[in-house]
Every structure is written in structure tokens, then in C-alpha cells.
Structure 1
Amino acid sequence: MRFDAVAKTYRRGGGSEVRALTGVSFDIQPGEFFGLLGPNGAGKTTLISILAGLSRASSGRVSVLGHDVVDDYAAARKCLGIVPQELVFDPFFSVRETLKIQSGYFGVRNNEAWIDELLHELGLADKANANMRQLSGGMKRRVLVAQALVHRPPVIVLDEPTAGVDVELRQTLWAFIARLNKQGHTVLLTTHYLEEAEALCGRIAMLKQGEVVALARTANLLAGTPHQMLRFKTDDALPPELASQARVTGRIVQLAAHGAGEVERLLARLREARVRVEDLEIGRADLEDVFLDIMRGGAPASVPLEAAA
């Protein structure tokens, strides 16, 4: 899969323009598990829409296994299985009927055995004859995954596949997708659950305002940040100079520390401010820490942007 200098500009009313993508270039090798990360509005879904043929790039080219998505669109789309963000379904059919119809779109006959396997692997076997309207949101999302996989595509694109779903589905889905990836399927994942990307993706590209700001192996991204993280729980307010740099989730506080000396300085400042600390631990920065660093000020100096090819 190749994105070559892809740009996309939308026109607003009154003649103004909005640039969604600016010269995005990178390759995804066959068999890779690749992560595409970025904040809301960074251009991830626009890029996937161009890949899927739902939108046309203003300039640049996109190809899937050598098939241009514009000039050779039929072959390109047959190579793709895409799980969209939105819950899109036909309310007039059962789960099994939906998958049989999807098979027919790609000219796949006698697909019952694979449909049965998908229903089993995605926890849908007992819902096979249920009407799509009767399913919960999480079950509908499972059906979307099955639809994307029903024609056995060599390239699987997952656009926020676990948004708003339960833990069971997340674990079931990732075990199944990881197995397909080991069998040779290429996987492109966008997600806001960065622990998923860290655990699954061998290589990651990060988008910011329509541009690639980081592109590297996941291990290199994690190794490229020099600091550790001081993590603890507290019910007390942090002093202003620490509050401005802390990542706070409920009672959990995380502070970056560059070395043992800074860890001691932070602890001393917390004691001085009479901040009561619970469950203190010191660990390495995770992908979320790296992501926030890059979004705030560019890639770590030790992680160069890889060449697009």
C-alpha cells in the first residue's frame, strides 16, 4: 500500500478552502501491522476515504498492492476490507443474510464455511439469524468487522474499530486480527486507544493538521523519548508549575522526569506543597506520552522521520 504526496483540499461556501491533507507520503509493506495516529481533525479518515475510493485526492496517488485506487479502482477495492467508524447497516436483513449479500458484492460464492468461522470468531454465532435492528451497538460493530473480512481481503483497514465497545469485543477482535496478520494479511489501524497501537503495531505514522510529523518503528518511537514518567494518585491540587505540565486523569497524575535528579526534585516539590501521594511508581514513557510530546512540539530528536519509501 502506497501513499505518494497525497493532498486534499475542500472548498467552503464563499470560495474559501480547507486543507485536510498536505503531501502525505508513506508505504505500508505487505504483512505489516501499521498504525495511523493523530488527534481529531488530523486527516486520518480523509486519507482512508481516499484509499477506499469514497473521496478523490486533490493531488498525489494512492495504490493498494500495485493497483491505483482511481485508475484501477475495481482491483484496488477487491483487495481492501474496511471497517468504518460509523455504524452503517441495512435494517431489513439478518446477520447471516448481510454477510451473504456482502460476499455477493465481491463475486464470492459458496462462502458459508468462512461466514460460519467469522460468526464464531467474532461472537456472533447466536445472533446469525437475528435482524440487524435487534442488535446492540457493540454487536452491530462486530457485524461491520465480519462484513469487511467476508471476501478475505489481503489488506484490512480498521478505522476506530473499538470505539465505544466492550472489553470482550476488543480482546476477541484483536486476537482474531492478530491471527490474520500472522497469516499474511496487511493491517492498517487508526485508534485513539494508544495502548492498542503500542501493543499491536510494528510501525506508526502520526498525522497533525494533515501532515506526517512522525514515521518510525514503534520501538524506536518509544526509545526516542528520554524521560521517565512519575505516576501517582492524589486528591490534592498540584502547585501551579506542576499542574501546567501534568497529565491528569481523575485522581491519577503523570509527570515527565528527565533522570533521577528530576524525580527527586518533583517529589520534594510535592512534599513542600503538602500534596498527599498514593500508589507512587516510576516507569518508562508509553506511546501516549510520546504522542502528546510529538503533537505539542515535533518528533523527539532521536527519532528521525523515515523516508516514505
Structure 2
Amino acid sequence: MTQPVVEVTNLRKTYGPKVAVDDVTFAVRPGEIFGILGPNGAGKTTTVETLAGLRRADGGTVRVLGRDTQRDPAAVKDLLGVQLQEAALHDKITVGEALRLFAGFYPNPADPDELLALLDLTEHVDKQFGRLSGGQKQRLSIALALIGNPEVAILDELTTGLDPQARRSTWDLVERVRDTGVTILLVTHFMEEAERLCDRLVVIDAGRVVADGTPSGLIADLDTDRTVVVRFTDDAHEPARAVLDRLAAEHPDVTGVAEPNGVPGEIAVTGTPRVLFAVVPALAAADLVPDDVRTVTRTLEDVFLAVTGRTYDQDDEPAHAAEGDRS
């Protein structure tokens, strides 16, 4: 079995009486994008800052490429690149100056020109940091995390504050970086981001790991119910509801019928994976043609609901989260 490049075992971190990270354990394989997913205040940033040797743990062990980052943080300085959530540069420094400055901190830095090309920054090499867009600043922060030629890179809340187009462009860049051979720890509170990018992940809530696995595997482990949503015009809605209610009472593949809140004309039908094959013939037999038919796809939000019993709010910050730990 391939040796993990990152190993976190029973990690614990407190701030006075507040527990920020509680018995967190995970391992990261070479060459993967590994996600640390959870709402704001869950303990994600504290976890990776402790892993990087930037905070002292109160318990547990953390290793990067076999080195204990708590006992000897300097041992991983040239192996680990870190893009922190609130890192910032002086407004007057240019992109090229920042890369050259950071390159001087390492014995074997990457080629700044290659990083500029990799991250689509070549044309901005002489632009000052304060004049960069949000997406350009994030790309520069990735470049600075990679300038030391690290084997592992931590990217913390990489796309917070970006518009949807810039966020998706940044996702493409993260995959491009992974393809160069860098193992990536991606800290995020965006479910869609984790589903798109992560090979495997842990979901952290209130400082504890509540789920771990591949995004598709975690979703597949949920119950096997499926939901089909149909939408009708006003005059067809009541007859369709009556047909589907009878179907739920008689058909073994249909277990429930409901009307989603705030969506006029929609009817949600829940059942086994074959529920669609029950709904369509029943509506056809009654000569009822819906304006729209769609199946509801499970997501990591459903996983979060299943393991915590509450809905996922990416802007939520639990009252028990430690002060100073914003994610």
C-alpha cells in the first residue's frame, strides 16, 4: 500500500475551554486532491495550520512526508507550500517582485516564469498587488505556495469572495497544479467545490470528523431513495396530484408525494430507484403531460444532513467555535 504523504492522528487543539479540533484523524495519498470540508467555524483552518507547524497541538500527531511537524516544523519548510486564508501582500509589490522575493526563501525554488505561465499570470507580471482582481490575487497566492517546489500544498478557502466564473477558473488551475505532481490539501466550505475537485475528503463539524471518503462514495452510502419532481400548469396540477397520491397508495416503488415549498406547480414523488418508471406511465395513462420532469441528485449537503441532523449553512459559525478560528 502507498505510504500516505500526510498523516493526522487524533489531533486535538483547544483555546482555553473551547475545543477547536477534537480527535481529528485522516491520511492523504500522494498525488490526490484531498478536501477538508465544513462550515465556517468547524475547525478546518486550525487543523491545517497545526499540520503545517504554525500552531501547537494539544494532543495527537501530525506528519508530512514522514516528518513530525510539531516536533520539527523546519523539517517540512521546503516540502510544504501553504496558501493561507487571510494572506496578503503590500499593495505596491508587483507580481514578479513577489515571486522573486519568495523564491529567495528556498534553496531550490521553482522557475517563476513557469509558474506565471501555469497560473495565467504572465501578462500581469508587472502589475501591483493592489491592482489585481480577486481571481488574480488568488492565482498569485497559489504561485507563492508553489514557488518552493513543494511536494504538498495547502490551499485554504481558495475561492472565497470570487464570482462564479473566477471560482470555476480557479478550479481548473487547481487541477492543473495537481497534474504537475503536487499533492493538494484543499480547505473549503463550498460543497460544490469539494464535489468537483476532491478525490477524497473529510467533513468536519464542530471540530470533529463526521464523514470521510470519496464524494461519490459518501453520496452513494445514503439511503437508496430517489425523488422525481414534475411540474404542471395550474389547471393540471390538482388532477396530477390526485393521480400521484393514488400511485403512492398502490405502487410498491412509490413511497411518498409532496409539494416543495415555494415552487408553484411542482410535485415531488419519492420511492425506490425505479420510481421514475412508475410515475411516467401513471401520468401518461391519465393523459397528463408535465411541463418539466427532473430527478433530484443527491449531494454532499445531503450527506451533511444525514450525519449531523441539520442542514448545511456555509455561512454558519457555531457558538462553540474557538475565537480566531474562522473556518
Q: Same fold (TM over 0.5)?
A: yes
Unaligned runs of 5+ in 2: 1-5, 235-256, 281-289, 312-327
1:4 corresponds to 2:9: yes
Residues 173-212 of structure 1: CA distance to partner in whole angstroms, max 9, x if unpaired?
Answer: 3333323323432111122332222222221111111111
Q: Percent sequence identity over matched residues? A: 36
Q: Which has the higher contact order (CA 8 A, sep 6+)?
A: 2
1:174 corresponds to 2:148: no
Kept in 2, the 8 Å contact 1:229–1:254? The answer is no
Q: Summarize the alignment of residues 18-167 of structure 1 with structure 2, pairs less than 5 Å apart.
A: 18-108=18-108, 111=110, 114-167=111-164
The residue type equivalent to 2:130 in the other structure is R
Q: Displacement of 1:155 after TM fit? A: 0.5
What is the alpha-carbon distance in structure 1 between the residues aligned to residue 292 and residue 87 of structure 2?
40
Q: Displacement of 1:130 after TM fit? A: 1.4
Change (3 A) 1:126 1:179: closer
What is the alpha-carbon distance in structure 2 between the residues aligned to residue 8 and residue 203 of structure 1?
24
Equivalent position SS for 1:20: strand
Match of 1:307 in 2: none
Equivalent position SS for 1:19: strand
Equivalent position SS for 1:31: coil
Equivalent position SS for 1:105: coil
What is the alpha-carbon distance in structure 2 between the residues aligned to residue 194 and residue 142 of structure 1?
21
* Rg larger in structure: 2
What is the alpha-carbon distance in structure 2 between the residues aligned to residue 258 and residue 86 of structure 1?
46
Change (3 A) 1:30 1:259: same
Q: Displacement of 1:280 after TM fit? A: 3.7
Unaligned runs of 5+ in 1: 12-16, 268-276, 299-309
The residue type equivalent to 2:157 in the other structure is E
Q: Displacement of 1:86 after TM fit? A: 1.8
What is the alpha-carbon distance in structure 1 between the residues aligned to residue 307 and residue 24 of structure 2?
17
Q: Displacement of 1:81 after TM fit? A: 1.3
The residue type equivalent to 2:15 in the other structure is Y
CA RMSD of aligned residues (A): 3.4
The residue type equivalent to 1:288 in the other structure is E
The residue type equivalent to 1:2 in the other structure is E
What TM-score do the two structures reach when normalised by structure 1? 0.76
What TM-score do the two structures reach when normalised by structure 2? 0.72
Q: Summarize the alignment of residues 179-218 of structure 1 with structure 2, pairs less than 5 Å apart.
A: 179-218=176-215
The residue type equivalent to 2:225 in the other structure is H
The residue type equivalent to 1:284 in the other structure is T
The residue type equivalent to 1:41 in the other structure is G
Kept in 2, the 8 Å contact 1:63–1:76? The answer is no
The residue type equivalent to 2:59 in the other structure is S
Residues 71-103 of structure 1: CA distance to partner in whole angstroms, max 9, x if unpaired?
Answer: 221121321112222251123421101011111
What is the alpha-carbon distance in structure 1 between the residues aligned to residue 175 and residue 61 of structure 2?
29
Equivalent position SS for 1:157: strand
What is the alpha-carbon distance in structure 2 between the residues aligned to residue 84 and residue 27 of structure 1?
20
